Each structure stands twice: as structure tokens, then as C-alpha cells.
Structure 1
């Protein structure tokens, strides 16, 4: 890519900042304009970026563009993944699907509903856990509301096992993992246990919507 600061959508070219030939000086206001346009393409013309979400978006954008200085100021470790938490309908999934498009020159992650992974386990068994413990980039969507896995009569906390595998992968190779969740820290511990919660602290940066954020799907 000759100029990573410019992204073409249809007949429109969007500038995300200034490229000096070596690095991009990103402009958050320009990024928001691009995200609105891309969101309309992905999710329909009713998609909006709300001012109340700018704080969360600012953190996600600086993480995505690898602005190490701003990440340090925000308390974000750019080497870890993102755990985006918030109430139902606040826009977590849409933002995680959207934010990856501002850096098309980076390797993208795949957004996978956690419940789909469990359904796959119920059909295929433990090979599913191995499949998601590999070196690919994933964002596990709606973590914590998936059912318990069951294969040939044996129950398994599928996502808990996958998170442990992803933690091992992260410690060995630095491969990052992302996730979205409606659960708070106590609920995560109740769902997955203290061991997984401890590993998640090492695996993720927590970025959270305000608990009073409105349901945008209503």
C-alpha cells in the first residue's frame, strides 16, 4: 500500500491523516468520518456514531493504529488484546467489526460469535478447541453468554478452555486475542473460574462502555 492514510470506498477516497512516506499522523476527526461511511456500508444507512461513544472509540482507534505514546497515556498495553465490555446493544460488536478497517495494512482479526464455537464443539468435539488455539487472530463475540459445550455426553466449558489456549499462545508468540462481553469481572469469574479470569487480565486490555449506555437497537 503506497499511502495507508487514504482508504477508498466506492468512488470516495477518505483521508485518515497525513502520511510522510514513513508513518501516518492520524486525525481522530477524519477517522470518525471514515468510520461513519464504512459503518453505513457494513450495517446500513441507519448506522450512527454517537458522541457519547467517542471516548471508547478514541481508545480503540489509538490501539488499532498502534499509537504507543497515546496508548501509554490511556493505560493501554498495545501488545495485549482488547476486551470490550458493556451492556446489551451498546454497539460492541459493530465497533470491533468496524475498527479493523482503519488499518487495512495490518493483519485483520476474525469476529466469531462464542456461541457458534460452542455449537461447533458440540458437533466436532475437542478439535474445535485446537482450531481456535492456533496462531490466527480472533475476536470472540458475546463471550460469557454461550451455552456449556456437550460432546458425547461430556460437558465442557469450551470458551474457558480456548481462552487458556489463547493465553499460552500469547505468552509463547505474542499473538493477540480480542473479545466482547456483557459480563463484569465477577460474572466472568463465576462463568469461567479464577484461573481463566487471571489469564484474561494478562491477555486483555479492558475497555468498557458506561453501564448506562443506551441500547442502540431499540
Structure 2
């Protein structure tokens, strides 16, 4: 059933209005989105969750991408046809933000968050069917891309996530299927991990949004 009020989100007994619905367009209010994300974050991750001032620029870019604000996406050089590669140091909050972003657009098909290491563990157990399973038309966000171990099945090594990225690239070209990911690695490290061919595909597959390398570890 079509959601007639996608700009209004109900969590328990609380209602959050993220903007105004005008004709067939939602005029979003970033301050209201932040209020909702902060509340939803506490529900998902506990009362210690807080959106801090230093992260507002990153969150603003992510929000504009997901709500498809064309003017701001153009300003930030974001292509809404591509996926997001969110990079930054350990503990900066990448995974939490990508888990949260799904909720501000309830009218859009959500992506599944899958740790890259879990995919490799699956490959080690059942083999190449794992790569086929992630080369389908579902939407995924691969978490912690680049730090997963090398796959090994029946004595043969395989760069599992590299192969999956190549499959996802083909899906993107053929059907416009998006892929998202988070990573602790920079561009050079990703190329060393996956090779030039995969890195080249990643440039076409993803918009890069990056935290400052000096951002604090929020887990401490």
C-alpha cells in the first residue's frame, strides 16, 4: 500500500514530521531530520547515542543524497544514481549512520546492512554460490569493506568482495541497482586490497563521502 505521508514517521507514540508535503514533493527540513535521527539513534543504539556538531556536514550530505535534493547534491558533486561509499577511521560512526539513513525515506526500498567479513565466512562455508547470492538485484550496504579476510574454499583463495563488487557493477550498468558500503580504508589502500580494475569500477559505482581522518573514536 502506498505511503500517503512519507514525510511523517511514527515511532511508538511519537510522531516526527520531517518536512512539508506540497503536491507530490516533500520539502524537507534538515533540523527536523536531525531531531528524528537523534531519537531513532537512541532507540537503535542506546541512550548514549548523540549526533555531534562535528558530524553535521557529513550527515547533511548523506541526507541530501537520500532525499534526492538535486540542488544540494549538485553542490556536493553527488550523483543520486550511484551508491554511497562512506569512509572514515574506526569508531567514527559510519555503520550507525548508514543504518539510520534508511529510516528517513520509508517510501524507498531499504538496503540490507551486511558485514563484509560475514560474506567471506559464508563463502568459506558454501563457496561461489555466496558470490552469486550478492550479485542479485537486492540492495545492499557492505559494512567494513576492505578489512575482511581472504576467502578460501576447498583450498582455493578468492578475493570475495572484489568479485562481488564486479558483479554489483554489472548490475548497476544493466539495471541501475545501487550498492552502498562503509570502509576504514583510503583510495590507495582500497586499490592495494582489490586491484586497479575493481578500484576503477568502484569510482563509477560509488559517491565517496569521507570523514576527516582525525575524527574522534566515539566508542571510547
Match of 2:213 in 1: 211
| Pairwise CA distance, 1:21 | 3.5
What CA deviation, in whole Å up to 9, does each residue of 1:137-159 have, x standing for no partner?
A: 00000000000000000000000
Match of 1:101 in 2: 103
What CA deviation, in whole Å up to 9, does each residue of 1:25-63 have, x standing for no partner?
A: 000000000000100100011101011000000000001
Segments of 4+ moved more than 6 angstroms? none
Match of 1:62 in 2: 64
User: Structure 2: how far apart are the matches of 1:12 and 1:177?
Assistant: 32
| Pairwise CA distance, 1:68 | 1.7
What CA deviation, in whole Å up to 9, does each residue of 1:145-196 have, x standing for no partner?
A: 0000000000000000000000011011100000000000010000000000
User: Structure 2: how far apart are the matches of 1:43 and 1:166?
Assistant: 30
Where do 5+ consecutive residues of structure 2 fail to align? Answer: none
User: Structure 2: how far apart are the matches of 1:4 and 1:185?
Assistant: 36
User: Structure 2: how far apart are the matches of 1:94 and 1:202?
Assistant: 25
| Pairwise CA distance, 1:108 | 0.1
Structure 2 residue aligned with 1:157, among 152, 156, 159? 159
Match of 1:177 in 2: 179
| Pairwise CA distance, 1:121 | 0.1
| Pairwise CA distance, 1:20 | 1.6
User: Structure 2: how far apart are the matches of 1:54 and 1:176?
Assistant: 24
User: Structure 1: how far apart are the matches of 2:5 and 2:80?
Assistant: 23
Match of 2:115 in 1: 113
Structure 2 residue aligned with 1:10, among 2, 9, 12? 12
Q: What's the Cα RMSD here?
A: 0.5
Where do 5+ consecutive residues of structure 1 fail to align? Answer: none
User: Structure 1: how far apart are the matches of 2:145 and 2:4?
Assistant: 37
| Pairwise CA distance, 1:66 | 1.2
The number of aligned residues is 218
User: Structure 2: how far apart are the matches of 1:170 and 1:48?
Assistant: 34
Structure 2 residue aligned with 1:91, among 86, 90, 93? 93
| Pairwise CA distance, 1:69 | 1.9
User: Structure 2: how far apart are the matches of 1:113 and 1:21?
Assistant: 39
